[in-house]
């Protein structure tokens, strides 16, 4: 006996999902919930989202984000030919690094 479940929104069948591993729409996630969770468990070992945030303190992560934002802003300023703005941003980046090193030493 075959499983004849079909997504009520897009018409994707459970057999299509099993064959391709693809869903047709967001509603498929509800229609085929158990099968999708089972597939995720097989591939990832868990269905719990671990996230992409580095395993560091929230303070260090905030610092890392600030550094990246400054670097991105410097690059944008340089590409736009705004050299004085880029220099000011570079100075902020250097000062931020100095402050961080002092905090880590104390």
pTM here is 0.47
Query: Is 43 found in the same domain as 22?
Result: yes
**13 DSSP β-pair partners:** 6
Per the structure, how many domains does the chain have? 2
Query: Is 62 found in the same domain as 48?
Result: no
Instruction: Answer for the pair 98, 67: CB distance below 8 angstroms, yes or no.
Output: no
- 4-22 mean pLDDT: 92
Query: Is 41 found in the same domain as 4?
Result: yes
Residue pLDDT, tens place only, 51-101: 665 566 778 878 888 999 999 999 999 999 999 999 999 999 999 888 888
Domain with 28, as residue range(s), is 1-52
Tokens read off for 37: 């969770």
pLDDT value of residue 51: 65
Residue pLDDT, tens place only, 27-41: 999 999 999 988 888
Query: Is 46 found in the same domain as 19?
Result: yes
pLDDT value of residue 83: 93
């Amino acid at each position: 006996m075959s499983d004849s479940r079909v997504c009520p929104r897009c018409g994707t069948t459970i057999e299509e999902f099993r064959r391709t591993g693809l869903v047709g729409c967001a509603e498929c996630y509800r229609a085929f919930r158990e099968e999708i969770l089972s597939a995720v468990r097989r591939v990832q070992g868990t269905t719990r989202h671990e996230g992409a945030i580095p395993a560091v303190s929230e303070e260090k992560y905030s610092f890392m984000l600030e550094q990246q934002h400054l670097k991105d802003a410097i690059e944008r300023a340089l590409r736009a030919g705004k050299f004085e703005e880029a220099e000011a941003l570079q100075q902020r980046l250097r000062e931020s690094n100095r402050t961080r090193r002092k905090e880590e030493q104390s």
